[in-house]
Homo-oligomer: A and B are copies of this chain.
């Protein structure tokens, strides 16, 4: 077996993308940015990051709830569906979104800006299940184990991550078996996944098989080696947790197929987009049409739910034909604001630098 590079071990100083990175980009899915016009992202446009392969669902699938609990539970999908259900729109973003904009570039899935989506997840509250199982007093974390198995950084593993007991017991944490009103699709974790609103995507474990209450902090690969903000390989680093604020816009005007360059008519144009933060509601979105030299406030609509992005609009009235660089920048109610320049880290996580969309404004035909 070849020991493969890990996201935290390989960097490229070249702008160009390797064929290994292209292999990842060809199978993982971004959300085309014009889909920001949907409050709920249609199935098939939501972003998708699959570490290994989509696993088949065993015919005798059941979920185990075990570990430091009074009563171990084993539940079929029918048993889960029979419980009191909940639905919530949740904005989810890959922790690696923006990675391919970093220099040097961490070698992993080379996201530009498209690794986001909002789905209406349906399922049951995790808390009710944990209460039924009876969490013992020495519990500190809850571990979520997926059925997806593969090799990463030389380590053979099933994908698994933990949440602290306090985070796992939050009212908004779901075990979801529905997406946008239909059954959970295979690529989003069928038959059951975790949904932890506010967190980057790595926390929302897909293809869930086991929920295990543990009495020592989990130190597996996806917790202690991957998904940490490090400047150098020897750093311990801070864990990646909740989503940093970000605003994105629907690129206006006409796209060029090959270059994705944009052409806009000389006329007032309503820019629209969505903004979100895992730390609190969006307090402001500002827009620049001169690459960030000057900024003006966009109109921010109410979040449809605490867990879902907010729509924003801005009237862009270009004074003359020419080249413009449109930017948008979100600030949340906790005071976190998007940086203009990317903050680099070894894994390429949480790069929420402002979006820049170059447009050419042309005179009326």
Contacts and interface: CB of A to CB of B under 8 A. Distances in A.
B42 A185 contact: yes
Given A2-B261, A108-B258, A187-B44, A30 B26 contact: yes
Question: How many copies of the polypeptide does the oligomer hold?
Answer: 2
B22 A156 contact: no
Nearest to A21: B17
Interface string A138-171: 0000000000011111001000000000000000
B362 A1 contact: yes
Main secondary structure of the interface of A (DSSP, over half): loop
B17 A152 contact: no
A211 to B, nearest CB: 23
Interface in A1-52: 1-2, 4-7, 10, 14-27, 29-30, 32-35, 37-38, 42-46, 48, 50-52
A32 B53 contact: yes
Contacts of A20: 258-260
Contacts of A223: none
Nearest to A6: B258
A111 interface: yes
A336 interface: no
B258 A5 contact: yes
A300 interface: no
A175 to B, nearest CB: 20
Contacts of A255: 52-53, 150-151
Nearest to A252: B53
A241 interface: no
A111 B26 CA distance: 7
A169 B30 CA distance: 37
Nearest to A186: B42
Contact of A52 (B5, B151, B182, B254): B254
Contact of A35 (B34, B54, B108): B54
B151 A1 contact: no
A257 B150 contact: yes
A85 interface: no
A112 interface: yes
A110 interface: yes
Contact of A34 (B17, B54, B256): B54
A56 interface: yes
Contacts of A151: 254-257, 261, 263
Given A156-B254, A254-B149, A187 B32 contact: yes
A114 interface: yes
Nearest to A48: B44
25 contacts: A2-B259, A4-B256, A4-B259, A10-B258, A15-B18, A16-B16, A16-B17, A17-B17, A19-B100, A20-B258, A20-B259, A22-B25, A22-B110, A23-B112, A26-B112, A27-B32, A29-B44, A35-B186, A38-B186, A43-B44, A43-B185, A45-B185, A52-B254, A151-B256, A151-B257
Interface of A: 1-2, 4-7, 10, 14-27, 29-30, 32-35, 37-38, 42-46, 48, 50-54, 56, 100, 107-108, 110-112, 114, 149-153, 156, 182, 185-188, 251, 254-261, 263, 360, 362
Given A1-B362, A25-B26, A43-B185, 13 more contacts: A5-B259, A17-B21, A22-B100, A24-B260, A27-B114, A32-B53, A32-B54, A32-B187, A35-B186, A43-B44, A45-B185, A52-B255, A182-B182
